[in-house]
Structure 1
């Protein structure tokens, strides 16, 4: 996205409801007075780490305040973008209880209480889920994040609402309908078949009357709550025209950072800054499971270079809320011995690395999606590991991965099927990633000579011409020179 530099908007309240206007105005005046974080910029994107915050599962309390107190800890991980999963009230009607049952199928009142529903079934876009806290608590989270050098982006669900949303009754014309004239749950735009998201109602952007109210709901959080952008759910199921129309208006006061849950290259032209690195993620899983090898990785890098522009950004990840809940933790999918290898790859390859709630503590289980579940905070080894990677990402321009990224050059190893070796370089700075991406011991040579620093261990590594190297399964090095 080629942004036009714009000055920060003095926050004003244009359409908050009358009863809340004075309280919201007080919050915003306080935020403006104390907020010294520079606006979103291309430079910020170059060396950032993004953190996905699942407030419900982060702590036993599951509240904004319980999360906010740990924001200084996240700063140690090099986090510069804080993506907060949906914080809005969740619809009760047709609320998901399990994968195949809704809340209406549960008869026991006590049993019903434990089903909290999907974060993505929203009943009110401009309110907060009382289970998480208050708007004042959220304002404190944003302020604390800004004070710690982090930009806050909210998870936004423009494709559908919960069945309790007031638009269902007040504006049924906003929704897609079946042949009987009934509002439908979301349909796959390619096949017309339901996705199975029965707890939400599908908005119809063929009716452009949806555009203005949806944009205004987003603008509320920018103007009145000082957020710095959005992560947009199933972004390619919403018309590109809407995103390209809405973004300039959302940015009238300050530049924003826009992440899409998609990897469609056309959405990066005017609407979004960063795409999901789905292809790399799936390929990492397949390599770890022995289904593919490094030659597939090389092919992916070539195809992406041909398909995307140089200033397109990918979010790199080994896990996120969907992968963890539905496909298993990174320990299940990659295997315990390979987790650090692929995590290191997400930091050294072009793009921006993601840490999902619990990843920094070595969370090994699938967090429940519709119920309360809590991560453990007791894996110091993994926290230190991500802290070290975050520092390298933040400080070494050879890992720049934004609009003006460092180069990516493949190093020819004697075993190109199992050994991934590449260098990233910018302005004379170099970082090397070398890994055995297989479950077998390998021997190989590399066209490197001289002495390097093993960044993770701090030791020295020397290369001589024709030197044979041995690597255990999933062994890797990050080298600096």
Structure 2
């Protein structure tokens, strides 16, 4: 038996059966015409979100921030950025969500702050400031020629971020404007718990999505990473800053000292879902989500959304072709790893950090994009675990047109990768890199998920009466919520039916055991779900050509198809079907 096994396996809890809906506030709805989405705009659309069958809204960062990294660089945990509204607006949002029977969770971004946060300003003010040790500071080192070098050779960490005032480097995993907090310092942790957590829990939020949750603990001696790329000074070093020696201690403390003392508005446990990167081993993931461990309720594991990304951070957008059997093995791995344990899993294929699923995993051409979106909806809602949807996914939003130039891309990561590609091509070290990186950005850039929500066919897709901060998709008149709400056969209407089906049969779809069929089939994705005497068969065609569908057992009937008319034992292009026995 697994060391995580529990006699009450998969105990039913609200967040396991809930449908979560992620809102990226800058791009959701603008209420005042400044081109930037805001919380009053979101408030106006809560009835829409509730109508989908959503149980919990996840609001991405809206805290005070210089917006270097779209709010993941927080300068004050207890304030709302004026571009989004006020603390009072969030208090109203909590109430309106609760009044509509939905819970609300916020992002918890506590691996780092903005360099404009008061804590960091104090820390960098002098070497003997009481908050100096709230961040990581180290002196420079020098090569044989006397040239100043960062304290480590880690890619990104310390790289090039010299503080002239105190003559030391500070640690940052992300942008130089996002210095890492030192969780080794107990006073720092206490401040995090008070400012970033209790402040909002006391106002009635129902939990957190926990950003970069496995990076709080580092190897604080910061040894040099092995040289795996002799062409550059900086080297991959995740083994020194991810899943570190005290990480489980820190998360248990966060739970015991803060989270365990709060309930949701209806008396349920508050929820945590962690962003768990660079943890490919199921046992490693279970160490975070075992109910007995009392750490996190569930995590996002990113193998699926990393399909097509090359190995290594520097090659992220150098697209690599993938096959359907590769996708199946990823899904199978993370569907089955909880069996026989007291852990839990999540189901998602979109978020604010990835390209749109229709464009990445199916076909976004005019002929097939609606069929693709419906098939992918069926693929998601029939999987075991907690379901997360991203804004616009329910109307089949797709990537920005491939014709858009790099000037339309706004994300700091996209622009950094593009600048590096330009530099490497111009110096002759990689003469094809620009075209390869642009191809990858067209498929996988974070920008695609951040295009303004397409509400209707009015100017700017009804997102804003002013000029949007990002260009609105060219096809907003063809793909928008208003037109789909009136159409029974639309992607939006199909999502609503699928979410009702998932709730009606939650025993088999939310909690059922997953059995992969035909793992090597290049064209169809088929699996069974089992719960006691109940079985569902899911058959999905991932191609634009008809494919054979297996004959279900005699006691099974077709519950739903993504086509209005089926064709016997043939799956039509991008068709999905669900069969079930009762």
Does the CA-based 8 Å contact 2:304-2:349 persist in structure 1? no
Aligned length: 406
Q: What is the match of residue 256 of structure 1?
A: 270
| CA shift digits 1:236-284 (9 cap, x unpaired) | 1113321110112222132210011116412213311111142234459
Q: Alpha carbons of 1:129 and 1:147: their partners in 2 closer, same or farther (altered >3 Å)?
A: same
Q: What is the match of residue 357 of structure 1?
A: 391
Distance in 1, matches of 2:186 and 2:544, equals 53
Q: What is the match of residue 297 of structure 2?
A: 273
Deviation at 1:329, TM superposition (A): 2.5
Q: What is the match of residue 123 of structure 1?
A: 75
More displaced stretch, 243-252 vs 212-221: 212-221
Q: What is the match of residue 339 of structure 1?
A: 373
| CA shift digits 1:350-404 (9 cap, x unpaired) | 1222221222233224585479952111241222122112111222123453xxx
Does the CA-based 8 Å contact 2:63-2:74 persist in structure 1? yes
Q: How does 1:31-430 map to 2 (within 5 A)?
A: 42-61=12-31, 62-91=37-66, 96=68, 118-170=70-122, 171-180=131-140, 195-238=173-216, 239-250=247-258, 251-254=260-263, 255-262=269-276, 264=279, 265=285, 266-269=287-290, 270-283=294-307, 291-294=322-325, 297-298=328-329, 301-302=332-333, 305-306=336-337, 310-323=341-354, 328-334=355-361, 335-336=363-364, 337=368, 338-365=372-399, 368-369=410-411, 374-377=452-455, 378-379=480-481, 380=484, 381-401=490-510, 405-411=511-517, 416-426=521-531, 428-430=533-535
Q: Aligned Cα RMSD in Å? A: 3.7
Distance in 2, matches of 1:302 and 1:131, equals 41
Does the CA-based 8 Å contact 2:334-2:345 persist in structure 1? no
Distance in 2, matches of 1:303 and 1:246, equals 26
Does the CA-based 8 Å contact 1:90-1:121 persist in structure 2? yes
TM-score by length of 1: 0.74
Deviation at 1:195, TM superposition (A): 4.6
Deviation at 1:132, TM superposition (A): 1.3
Does the CA-based 8 Å contact 1:51-1:356 persist in structure 2? yes
Distance in 1, matches of 2:380 and 2:559, equals 18
| CA shift digits 1:55-77 (9 cap, x unpaired) | 22111332212211221221222
- Unmatched tracts of structure 2, length 5 or more: 32-36, 123-130, 142-149, 160-171, 217-246, 264-268, 280-284, 311-318, 401-408, 413-446, 456-479, 485-489
| CA shift digits 1:295-331 (9 cap, x unpaired) | 65147525763577644333322211011xxxx3334
Q: Alpha carbons of 1:284 and 1:432: their partners in 2 closer, same or farther (altered >3 Å)?
A: farther
Distance in 2, matches of 1:315 and 1:354, equals 7
Does the CA-based 8 Å contact 1:56-1:63 persist in structure 2? yes
- Unmatched tracts of structure 1, length 5 or more: 4-40, 97-116, 464-468
Does the CA-based 8 Å contact 2:324-2:521 persist in structure 1? no
SS at match of 1:122: coil
TM-score by length of 2: 0.62
